[in-house]
């Protein structure tokens, strides 16, 4: 979901949204969104739970960056993308991964190479294929399991 600031009563977002994959999305104008938010208890409840998950994930990510290896963080990020892509193969560039992980591209190359040599992923020309999800989960830091469990517990 983009535009959570609007749900919190802020009319300007400090974030830039980047679409990572193909697919469909729903869009609603700000005025209509505010009206639905006032009208729907269910929507408010869902967005409150979403914000809670988002805050937990942000804190987990801050901890992850300082505590875990790039290879583990890349595995976490790929698993999270796999969950959201609903496909074993998705597009992602070295430059994008470097930005997401806060490392130089060479760091992504090394980490992806390590995961590929263990036959957990295949990565070529901006396409990643998850080959061994269970192995990738084992290669990820514990942050992935915390994120996944939080999503399940709070958002269902």
Q: Residue numbers of the site for Zn ion (CB under 5 A)?
A: 64, 68, 141, 143
Closer Cβ to Zn ion, 80 or 143, answer by number: 143
Instruction: Please spell the DSSP secondary structure of 102-140, one letter per residue.
Output: TS-HHHHHHHHHHHHHTTSEEEETTEEEES-HHHHHHHS
Closer Cβ to Zn ion, 128 or 139, answer by number: 139
Helix (H, G, I), strand (E, B) or coil at 87: coil
Q: How far is the CB of 26 from Zn ion (least distance, A)?
A: 31
CA 15 to chain centre: 15
Closer Cβ to Zn ion, 6 or 146, answer by number: 146
CA distance linking residue 46 with residue 48, whole number of Å: 5
CA distance linking residue 85 with residue 22, whole number of Å: 9
Q: How far is the CB of 67 from Zn ion (least distance, A)?
A: 6
Closer Cβ to Zn ion, 128 or 141, answer by number: 141
CA distance linking residue 91 with residue 36, whole number of Å: 34
Q: How far is the CB of 139 from Zn ion (least distance, A)?
A: 12
Q: How far is the CB of 80 from Zn ion (least distance, A)?
A: 11
CA distance linking residue 5 with residue 91, whole number of Å: 28
């Amino acid at each position: 979901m983009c535009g959570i600031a609007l749900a919190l009563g802020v009319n300007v977002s400090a974030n830039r949204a980047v679409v990572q994959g193909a697919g469909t999305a729903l869009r609603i104008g700000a005025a209509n969104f505010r009206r639905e938010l006032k009208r729907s208890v269910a929507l408010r409840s869902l967005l409150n739970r979403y914000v809670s998950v988002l805050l937990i994930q942000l804190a987990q990510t801050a901890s992850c960056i300082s505590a875990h290896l790039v290879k583990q963080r890349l595995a976490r990020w790929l698993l999270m993308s796999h969950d959201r892509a609903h496909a074993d193969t998705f597009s992602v560039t070295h430059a994008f991964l470097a930005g997401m992980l806060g490392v130089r591209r060479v760091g992504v190359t090394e980490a992806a190479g390590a995961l590929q040599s263990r036959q957990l992923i295949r990565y070529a020309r901006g396409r990643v294929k998850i080959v061994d999800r269970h192995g990738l989960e084992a290669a990820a830091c514990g942050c992935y399991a915390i994120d996944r469990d939080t999503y399940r517990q709070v958002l269902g």
